[in-house]
Structure formats: C-alpha cells, structure tokens
Copies of this chain bind each other. A is one copy, B any other.
Amino acid sequence: MRILISGFGTVGQGFADVLLKRSDLFRERYGREVSIVCVMDSTTYIADQTGLRLGDLLERKKVTGKVGNDKYSDSTEVIDSVDYDLMVEVSPTDIKTGGVGLKNIRHALGSGKDVITVNKGPLALNFCELVALAKKNGCKFRFEGSVGGAMPIINLCRENLVGERISSIRGILNGTCNFILSKMDNGQPFEQALKEAQQMGYAETDPTNDVEGYDSACKVVILANSIFGRNVRFSDVNITGITSISSEAISLAASQNMVIRLIGEVSEDRLEVSPRLISKGHPLSIGGTLNAAQIVTDLAGPITVSGRGAGRIETASAILSDLVSIMDDRKERGGKCQKK
C-alpha cells in the first residue's frame, strides 16, 4: 500500500505520527509496513518511490515550516508524477469552494486511486459527485474523521448497524460550542466562556465558523448524504448558532433539570442545526469538548456514541481506522493475520 499525503498541517503530521506509532500493527496484520511515497504541503512536496522516512519529514516541517525542498505550482502535476495506491487528503477546509482538497480528491478518484479524507469542504459541497466518481472508477472513498473526529459514527452506521433502519441522527457535532455551553452551565456569560475557549485553543480568533453553527452544518450535510443517501448541500441546512443564548435561558433550563446544547439533526426530511433543551442524564447532555451523536434505529432503539471531536492524534486515529478497513477490503491481509 503506497500512500500519498496531501496536506501536512496538524492532521497530516498527526497521521504521520500515528503511522510511526503503529508500524507493528501493519507488520502483524499485513506482513509489512505501509509506504509513504509522497507528501505535499501548501507549497512544497517531497517524493520517493522507495518510501519516505516520516520521522525526518516531521523534523524538517518543524524546523523549516516546509515538508519538501521542491516547490510546486499545480498539485495535480505532483500527484501524476507519483505511483501511489491511496491518497490521504487533509489539506485545510475551504467551505466556500472546496479548495485544493476538492481538486486533489477529484484527481485521485478520477485516476482510480482510493481516497481517505477528513476535509469537510469537498464533502459538504460535492459529496454525491465524489461518491459517483469513486464508484465509477472502483475506488474506496472514506471519511470517518470528517464528522466527530475520533468518535465512531459513519462506519458504525454503515457497517455495524447495516441491518437497522436509521430514522434520525441527532448530535453534538462541535466541541467548541459544547465547551462554551458547559461553561455557561456553570454561570459564565457567553462572551467570557468564548474567551476561555479561545485561551484554551478550542476556538479560533474568529469563532464564527464554530459559534454560528457552520461547522456543525457541514457535518450534518455529510451525515445526510452518507448515511441517509440524500443529495444535499451546506446551503440546504437550517442553521441557528449559540451567540444569542443568554445566561437567563441557561438558568431557566437548569431550573427544569435541563441543559441547552447545540444539536445537529438529520433525517429523511430534516436538516437542522439549532440550540435544544436536553434533560440532564440524557446521553446528549454531556459537558466539555466532547462530541456525541444519537442514532435512532428501528430495532436496536437509540444508540449513542461520544468521543473527542478534534485533536491531531484523535483525528488521525479515524484516518487509521479507514486505512485498516480499506486494506482489509483490498485483501492486503497477510503476515501473521492477527485479526481476532
């Protein structure tokens, strides 16, 4: 399995770290390690068909800010110059145009290569086109980490729960908003809670994308298209953020033994992000930066998952789970066949 990594920021470097940590997994399960044959960041690239040394790349990126010595102008020219089997696309999310991520994913799938991404832009804007392209070319296209980071949700619904009819998914899909709302539960006003989130590194200087619900809306779109087979886009979501939630509303909720949480909801006919009242003790009443999602099924009833929605290693772990799943599907299995 020869891998091309497109994007070497937080998640790309986290994925390199995870591969270094898990070399034993690949040796035991498949009889060999995976080989990284090319890594691109926003302006440079480095390629070696015999396999790059990830430790060296991480060190160089840390010291120089760049992964390679060679600059490129057109990413697809770099991609075409490499023999690879699978692209890990983790360039920055561009929710307006899909950005270079969309371009690179299209190019890889169009060339018959498997793709794993956590890039919400291409998924929220061009999901159905990309899935159709993957199908047409016999490629695997996976994106577990795009919703809820390390929280297992997409593969859980599509594999473990394949016998269920899923009527809706409701979830806390943005850890920053949940951190702010949890702080407000403890009496802090919104502005102060936001400031603390920024100081902790959970919220960006411009927090619009999180607090206005746009990030949650992207995830709602990905769930709608991937789990419910819908064909919707970001602009189809009814979005209300958390900026107008007052301390009085939080107190009133608490007096009824409830909390307010920003909930993304998707079903056959619903596509919404809005603050909702949740009873204390309900699986979606959790506090802190966690993400959580409740999957409502006809046989199993409601199933809830929660986990860390962000973080370099956490998000990379979702990419790892997609990679193992694809390698199993591709019957790369050999070695000691450790699968229990």
Binding site for B on A (CB under 8 A): 18, 21-22, 25, 29, 150-152, 155-156, 158-164, 182, 185, 226, 229, 280-283, 285-288, 290, 292, 297, 299-308, 311, 313-314, 316-318, 320-321, 323-324, 339-340
In the assembled complex, the Cα of A150 lies from the Cα of B160 at a distance in Å of 11
Q: Looking at the complex, which one of B21, B25, B314 makes contact with A300 (CB distance below 8 Å)?
A: B314
A320 touches B163 (CB 8 A): yes
A150 touches B281 (CB 8 A): no
Most B CB atoms within 10 A — which of A155, A160, A313, A339? A160
Task: Name A182's closest neighbour in chain B (CB-CB).
Answer: B281
In the assembled complex, the Cα of A158 lies from the Cα of B226 at a distance in Å of 23
A290 touches B283 (CB 8 A): yes
A164: chain B residues at CB < 8 Å are: 317
A162 touches B324 (CB 8 A): yes
Q: Could you tell me the distance in whole angstroms from the C-beta of A73 to the nearest C-beta in chain B?
A: 36
A307: chain B residues at CB < 8 Å are: 300-304
A308 touches B301 (CB 8 A): yes
A324: chain B residues at CB < 8 Å are: 162-163
A287: chain B residues at CB < 8 Å are: 281-282
B280 touches A306 (CB 8 A): no
B311 touches A301 (CB 8 A): yes
In the assembled complex, the Cα of A158 lies from the Cα of B325 at a distance in Å of 12
Once A281-B288, A283-B306 are accepted as A-B contacts, the answer to whether A300 and B163 lie under 8 Å apart by CB is no
Once A317-B163, A320-B299 are accepted as A-B contacts, the answer to whether A340 and B158 lie under 8 Å apart by CB is yes
Task: Name A257's closest neighbour in chain B (CB-CB).
Answer: B186
A303 touches B303 (CB 8 A): no
A152: chain B residues at CB < 8 Å are: 156, 160-161, 303
Once A182-B281, A287-B281, A324-B163 are accepted as A-B contacts, the answer to whether A314 and B301 lie under 8 Å apart by CB is yes
Task: Name A299's closest neighbour in chain B (CB-CB).
Answer: B317
Going nearest first, the 10 A-B pairs with the smallest beta carbon separation are A281-B287, A150-B300, A299-B317, A300-B317, A303-B307, A163-B320, A301-B308, A304-B306, A152-B160, A283-B306
Once A162-B324, A162-B339, A306-B283 are accepted as A-B contacts, the answer to whether A150 and B299 lie under 8 Å apart by CB is yes
Subset of 13 A-B contacts with CB under 8 Å: A18-B299, A25-B163, A150-B300, A155-B160, A229-B340, A283-B286, A299-B313, A299-B317, A301-B307, A301-B308, A302-B308, A304-B307, A305-B305
Most B CB atoms within 10 A — which of A158, A161, A163, A321? A163
In the assembled complex, the Cα of A306 lies from the Cα of B306 at a distance in Å of 9
B308 touches A306 (CB 8 A): no
A299 touches B21 (CB 8 A): yes
Known contacts A29-B162, A303-B307; 12 further A-B pairs (Cβ under 8 A): A152-B303, A155-B160, A163-B321, A163-B323, A185-B281, A280-B281, A281-B285, A281-B286, A297-B317, A300-B307, A300-B308, A304-B304
A283: chain B residues at CB < 8 Å are: 283, 286, 290, 292, 306
